[in-house]
Amino acid sequence: MISSLYLVTVVTMTCIYIILASGLNIITGYAGQPNLGHAAFFGIGAYASALLTTKAGLSFWAALPLAILITAVVGLALGVISLRVRDDFLAITTIGVNFVVVSVFLYFTFFGRALGLGGIPRPTLFGYNLQKPQYLVLVLAVVALVMALCWVFSRSRLGLMVTAVREDEIAARCLGLDVTRLKIIAFVLGTSLAGLAGSLYAHFMTFISPYDFAFPVSITIMCMVVLGGAGTLWGPVVGAVVLASAPELLRFIQDYRMLVYGSLLVLLMLFQPSGLLGMGSAFAGRELRLAARARGRVNQGG
Amino acid sequence: MADTIFTVRSVTKAFGGLTALKAVTLEVGREEIFAVIGPNGAGKTTLFNVISGVYRPDEGEIYLAGRPLHGLTTHRIARLGVARTFQITRLFKQLTVLDNVVLGFGRGDIDPRGLVGGARRPAEVERAKELLAAVGLKDSAGLTAGTLAYGDQRRLELARAMAMDPTLLLLDEPCAGLTHHEALELAALIRRLKDSGVTVVLVEHNMYVAMGVADRVAVLDHGEKIAEGSPEAIQRDPVVIEAYLGRGEAGEDRA
């Protein structure tokens, strides 16, 4: 019933969403800075990679790191500007960033305007052209790498400092933490991951258009983070898997699937607002056990 | 008090039409416990916020060991050795008690080694546990800070401030919300801190506590310093009695 190529597409897109959600989780989950324009950085990575391969003639392997770098630089510049404001003002500023970036893609011929960019090559490896299934293997490897990176971040001193910024900015400043710099570091890390996801997306789809990176995509990524559990390592993964596969799994109820999907979100927010893996969740058992074990170590050490 | 380490010189801070601090001058000696008292709204917390850089003074200068603090950002002031606690506790509530203390080490320095290694070095865990033991939170290291009782949250703030190895420790109403017994324990701890080489400035609404622990006391009223001297002299000062004790507050506090 389901073609294997269709399955490959769904799984690849889920993986790309895992990278996007994990990146946003560093900004919003750990550092506590709302970012409702994450799709803009997804788009910047995708357009950068597409232009570097189609117009500059670079290979995928050269374009991918460059796309991450370009997104990081734009993320740094926009972070320095927008992180001057806080909370709801920051949320609105990032929405603005999303609209501006999509507009730039739409109105400049260089970016292909509404037609988008096509003919983006799939990567080649040892002279062999990677097709969708092989490309999925590559994407899965990247996801593993990203999760390893997020794991290192979540248990590092930098991660702890960034979390302190989320918990109480003034207290963090009074401990000597350079709050502005820590927010910018988190923002650049998160947007870099979005750039990576963008590059992977462009070379998977081989065709991109501005609306692939519009504001609703930012909302979807934010929903994944919040659903899974902001500020937890595996929460964004669970959120991405559920929300990327739910529309496909609910396809059999056709017209009503968005209704069911929306209702599930509302129910979750009512009864488990910290997310599926967040505090107080039955699913958080494993993480809580790990935390308890860590506590045991701490206590024994004395 | 020949050896002045901390100076506040003619500091003024206004919010719109309200002048919260009017040309306040303080000189605090090395390893002294200096209390700033005054009725509610006298400008005590504003003074701390100006010293720690949360607010910028409109006028005046602040020096710690000869280095100017006025005009610096909060985190730079902290890095120069100024630690503080808050009138209403400001903990990292979702983090563990231990991590709250660990964050005080290094005064916020982003050590490149900290990018990959674990968040807490073994030596830091040891030292954090010593500090927690010193404030009576030995068995709470693994708890989430937000779950602590109020008095314990105050102790944790103190341990966190001590982790910064401060030159100057600012305590904003350290005894608020504590029982009489807890307040006495805290006073003993503050004296031990002084003996270990820390200069302490504390703001206190509770005169009983302030008089008991401080070497010298300054009295603020409506943003102005109206008296300064030994606790005994302050208690007898008619200006203070009129401005502060005369309002019947001392009776409440002593009760």
How close does chain B come to A65, measured CA to CA in Å? Answer: 21
pLDDT of residue B57: 94
Domain borders along chain A are: 2-271
Mind listing the pLDDT tens digit for each residue in A215-247? 999 999 999 999 899 999 999 999 999 888 877
Nearest to B240 by CA among B38, B28, B36, B34: B38
A296 touches chain B (CB under 8 A): yes
DSSP strands (E only) in chain B: 4-15, 18-29, 33-37, 59-64, 67-68, 82-84, 168-172, 199-204, 216-221, 224-229
Interface test with A, best of B52, B103, B105, B130 (most A CBs within 10 A): B103
Q: Which residue has the tokens 């850089």?
A: B53
How close does chain A come to B147, measured CA to CA in Å? Answer: 13
| Long-range pairs for A267-271: beta carbons < 8 A, 24 or more residues apart | A268/A227, A269/A226
Task: Say whether A161 and B129 touch across the interface (CB within 8 A).
Answer: no
Residues 142-171 of B with CB under 8 A from A: 142, 160, 164
Residue A187 CA neighbour count, 13 Å, CB half: 26
How far, in Å, CA of A62 to CA of A53, rounded?
A: 9
Query: What DSSP designation does B244 have?
Result: T
Tens of pLDDT along chain A (302 residues) come to 457 888 999 999 999 999 999 999 999 999 999 999 999 999 999 999 999 999 999 999 999 999 999 999 999 999 998 888 877 889 899 999 999 999 999 999 999 998 999 999 999 888 888 888 899 999 999 999 999 999 999 999 999 999 999 999 999 999 999 999 999 999 999 999 999 999 999 999 999 999 999 999 999 999 999 989 999 999 999 999 988 887 777 777 767 767 777 787 788 778 777 888 877 666 665 444 444 444 444 444 33
- Give the CA radius of gyration of chain A: 20
Task: Say whether A301 and B126 touch across the interface (CB within 8 A).
Answer: yes
Which tokens go with B230? 């030994």
What share of chain B in percent tops pLDDT 70? 93
Residue A75 phi/psi, 5-degree rounding, is: -60, -40
Nearest to A200 by CA among A259, A106, A132, A282: A132
pLDDT of residue A283: 65
The separation between the first and the last C-alpha atoms of chain A, rounded to the nearest angstrom, is: 60
pLDDT of residue A302: 32
| Residue ranges in chain B modelled with pLDDT below 70 | 1-2, 113-115, 244-255
pLDDT of residue B252: 46
The separation between the first and the last C-alpha atoms of chain B, rounded to the nearest angstrom, is: 33
CATH class of A2-271: mainly alpha
**CB crowding B77-98: b at 16 or more within 10 Å, else e:** bbbbbbbbbbbebbbbeebbbb
Sequential DSSP letters for A111-134: GTGGG-B--PPPPEETTEE--HHH
Which tokens go with A95? 């929405």
pLDDT of residue A257: 67
How far, in Å, CA of B25 to CA of B43, rounded?
A: 13
ipTM score assigned to the predicted complex: 0.90
For residues A30 and A186, is the Cβ–Cβ distance under 8 A? yes
Is the pTM higher than 0.80? The answer reads yes
- Give the domains, in start order, of chain B with CATH numbers: 1-81+166-255 (3.40.50.300), 91-165 (no CATH)
Residues 175-234 of B with CB under 8 A from A: none
Interface test with A, best of B80, B90, B164 (most A CBs within 10 A): B90
Interface test with B, best of A30, A175, A178 (most B CBs within 10 A): A175
